[in-house]
Structure 1
């Protein structure tokens, strides 16, 4: 609901909601709540680079607004331990000192990441159902079900407005750990009154209900029961419930269990230490000793379900794994579905496995994966329980947010009470209504390339794209600026442009053209320096080469000093 004219408007208090990431995109989730000069952060995740982001490792949110308002920051609350919600925390802590709040497993996963970056911070463990305060924010963590254990939603109260943030969720009545989403508490919160709800939109386009994790267990039960070979199962390392089910089934059918892949090893160790994963004594075997176990008695749980080139399964498929050599008759199960953008790499690994005579089972063949996000009917249940006065869809691409908004309207919410924001916008909320302000905070994609954070921008990406498409040409030349005497070259060096041995004529013509350009430039302008010659070479050779090849390599003139 938009604000109406009010003479006392200036005296009103507002809760500011500022999404920095996670809107009109998948991943990089980060939302700021600001009230009375105090800020709390909800999640701080990363996303993975798009195809055109050549050489980029990960993408993180823009911390500019937080750095400018560092004295206001009171804490960061984590909904769950997936990379798109915690992956950028180490990069934030390199810029600012922030106190963390989250459940035991979530903070355990954060702790692992901080150790890799040689960082530490104050971390406060909270439990589902617990109420706590951060500054003027009164917060309650509400148990949620998702594709990772220990996920929570947050009910946040300030004198200005109350917010319910679902985090990622699905409504699974039969989760592996036996702790379904606390629907009765959600109903209680709805009766108390919620001014605005921020809700997961990932599966808003999918009708019906998301299938229960138990279905995957039933399918895997049948597969493992009938298998007579070694079984390798690729799944997300963070899906502790899935790993637990695989362990239980392996033990049930007399098989030992081992794991492969650094992230899988780390999560299994952490989840076991914290009590989220129970591996019976004697059931686990070290991967190095697994070769001594008969094939019919072994299950290997591995990373690589998304076809990642350096993940354990890809190395197995390419005969590059130190401890696991695949052979004809092995069974590989992809207990996952490809994340959008990963279809080609997953397909490549599947084809390589088939070429080895390995039996491959994946999502198109059997129900071996279910989503961790709510479909349309579950979203309707959430809206009906919380009964928010206003709604802001989050966590999804543009189409997901639009569909979730339509669902809210179908349930009776007025369009004027639904707020559609972009990253960097601000929604000022109180019990009377809300108003949107565009582009309040900087919310660019910050690209991480190796140790460099934010030092690669669009200009560099454009050059990398050009290099990947047309290659590089270096023109090495030496001349005396005083006399115009050319004492070296021009010498042509190319990389990724043409195969030199088969294009000697083209390179000879290019060399002659470069010499002509240099001589003409020096003749028409006796005072021409290296900058003038460089510009002439770039501009005129670009046209010449495109005319000959229909390609546009990056052209770099290099000048040798005259002594």
Structure 2
């Protein structure tokens, strides 16, 4: 028997990380991040790696399927804890080097390039990468030989019959694996609800070429920087339209630099114009490619929309093409940016008016069905999706006659035999929030959320040596600022004085501070309907330092 332990990516979209354990060894597949949209000062979120510390197994290494952030972004944090080799395709490792260098762990990292069809041993596992098509160059699936047979992990994939780089998905190899017998298939579930054909990236190129050629002004294409296939097409379009490419956004620069250095983006040097020289060219000669298709406030597209980009501006008559799907939840920010662009007289083209400007890199339901038909597994575990996606994908496998199926989320082990998959123990997966390379504790995030929702109040009380209250001062932030503020603050001050007057005669200053804190919160609830995070301090004249409530950061009474 072997065990599969999902640390991330099951029950959610993103943060993919999975351990496969056998014979006292564990292999990790991918190690990615996700992002926090609550505005609480979090850069990235990665899986909690502490379950790996509790494994009675040696970590043999990490195998990366491809270079998207939700598959590689957490490697710096993992490698700071575990000195293990990382295997991956050349383009993915190029991006990994960038990340590891930023975190000052590159010097000690062991990075080993993989190639489709070239199997390698990793401890007791034998791993064979298999070429797949996805919205990034050099994407692979994995065939992993284990003690219970072959496991096929698809990674992110789709069937693209005409990929721009000519690297077709290896249908014959998947079929051959199915002929030989596959114990377990773990397959991408992201687009299980979409019944239509996935569409080819080359078709997007045809639409983008038409839109660029017919535009008299500058054209800005907003897209994911990691989609090297689309960047490759835009290079061809720029040459056909006699335009220069201008790269806007840090991520765009990083991905194009790595793709060009690894041979995946054959742009001649004269095709790319430095962004600080773009103003010197006629508008009709500019094809800009910008980050920020998801409405990120500090990305290039948002800065263009606000007129704040330092080297380039959009003008009336220019055209902006939103060549990306808006991730659910990002619609307000994306629509706000589109509105700002329209107010500047810029023509905005989105999927609402031109469906062909984007196709997904993830398998739609027909592709998922085809993968099951090729591999013909005895067992099936859907991966990469919310519980809804996983359940729907499991139902598809059941309809197709797969004998043994398990749906699990992060933190629940799966036990696999040669002909059966079973739910195992719960091992407690978690999430680690990171800002500036450091972990942000959950308690701090709760405090930040409370501050954002309820605001903060500060209560300062001065008492003379005889115990008489001399003054109560109340200050708030994010609570109130209107015509009633002065009157309400006076009411709160009176409530604090009353509460302190009812305190025990020989109460400590810590207890008095707590009485004051609770009075502020209780009165604010009555006056404003909220209980702000409250800090109360007692200043006793003649004492060396003020005393604050030991519970001053709590948000409940």
**What TM-score, normalized to structure 1?**
0.93
Please name the residue that 1:6 is paired with. Answer: none
**Partners of 1:118 and 1:450 in 2: how far apart?**
13
Q: Is the 8 A contact 1:102 1:126 kept in 2?
A: yes
> For 1:59-82, what per-residue CA distance to the aligned partner results, in whole angstroms no more than 9, with x for missing partners?
110100223349601110000000
Deviation of residue 49 (structure 1)? Answer: 1.3
5 Å-filtered alignment, 1:150-549, equals: 150-366=138-354, 367-414=356-403, 417-440=404-427, 442-453=428-439, 455-457=440-442, 459-479=443-463, 483-487=466-470, 489-499=471-481, 502-521=484-503, 525-549=504-528
SS in 2 for 1:202: coil
Q: Deviations over 1:356-415 (max 9, x none)?
A: 11111111111111100001111111000000000000000011001101110111124x
In structure 1, what is the equivalent of residue 545 of structure 2? none
In structure 1, how many angstroms separate the alpha carbons of the residues matched to 2:155 and 2:51? Answer: 22
Distance 2:324 2:539 in 1: 56
C-alpha contact 1:427 1:435 (8 A) present in aligned 2: yes
Could you say what secondary structure the match of 1:43 adopts? strand
Other structure's SS at 2:31 match: coil
1:315-339 Cα deviation digits (max 9, x unpaired): 1111111101221111111110111
Q: Give the superposition deviation at 1:465.
A: 2.5
1:299 aligned counterpart, secondary structure: strand
**Separation in 2, partners of 1:37, 1:72:** 6
Q: How many residues align?
A: 539
CA positional deviation for 1:58: 1.6
- Cα distance, 1:501 vs. partner? 6.2
- Unaligned residue ranges in structure 1 (runs of 5+): 1-13
> What SS does structure 1 have at the residue aligned with 2:415?
strand
Q: Tell me, in whole angstroms, the C-alpha distance in 2 between the residues paired with 1:451 and 1:77.
A: 23
* RMSD of aligned residue pairs (Cα, Å): 1.5
Q: Deviations over 1:215-263 (max 9, x none)?
A: 1111101101111001111111100010110110011111111201111
Check conservation: 2:10, 2:384, Cα contact below 8 A.
yes
CA contact (8 A) 1:484 1:526 kept: no
Distance across 2 between alignment mates of 1:126 and 1:114: 18
Q: Which runs of 4+ in 1 moved over 3 A?
A: 68-71, 459-462
SS where residue 20 of structure 2 aligns?
A: strand
Question: Does 2:31 match 1:44?
Answer: yes
Aligned to 2:537: 558
The one of 96, 101, 115 aligned to 1:110: 96
- Residues in 2 aligned to 1:470 and 1:277: alpha-carbon distance in whole angstroms: 50
Question: How far, CA to CA, are the matches of 2:143 and 2:349 in structure 1?
Answer: 41
Is contact 1:232–1:331 with CA below 8 Å preserved after alignment? yes
Give the conservation status (yes or no) of the 8 Å contact 1:307–1:349.
Answer: yes
Mapped to 2, the partners of 1:38 and 1:451 lie a distance apart of 29
- Could you tell me how far 1:542 is from its partner in structure 2? 2.1
Which residue pairs with 2:87 in the alignment?
A: 101
Residue 433 of structure 2 contacts residue 441 of structure 2 at CA under 8 Å; is this kept in 1? yes
- Deviation readout 1:285-310 (Å, 9 max, x if unpaired): 11111211111111111111111111
CA distance in 2, matches of 1:41, 1:353: 44
Q: Tell which deviates more after alignment, 65-74 or 89-98.
A: 65-74
Q: Could you list the per-position Cα deviations for residues 123-147 of structure 1 after superposition, in whole angstroms to 9, with x for gaps in the alignment?
A: 0001111111101101110000000
Residue aligned with 1:438, SS? strand
Q: Conserved in 1, the CA contact under 8 Å of 2:379 and 2:419? A: no
Deviates more, 1:543-552 or 1:285-294: 543-552
* CA distance in structure 1 between the aligned counterparts of 2:9 and 2:269, rounded to whole angstroms: 42
CA distance in 2, matches of 1:274, 1:460: 42
Distance 1:115 1:483 in 2: 62
**1:510, CA displacement in angstroms?**
1.2
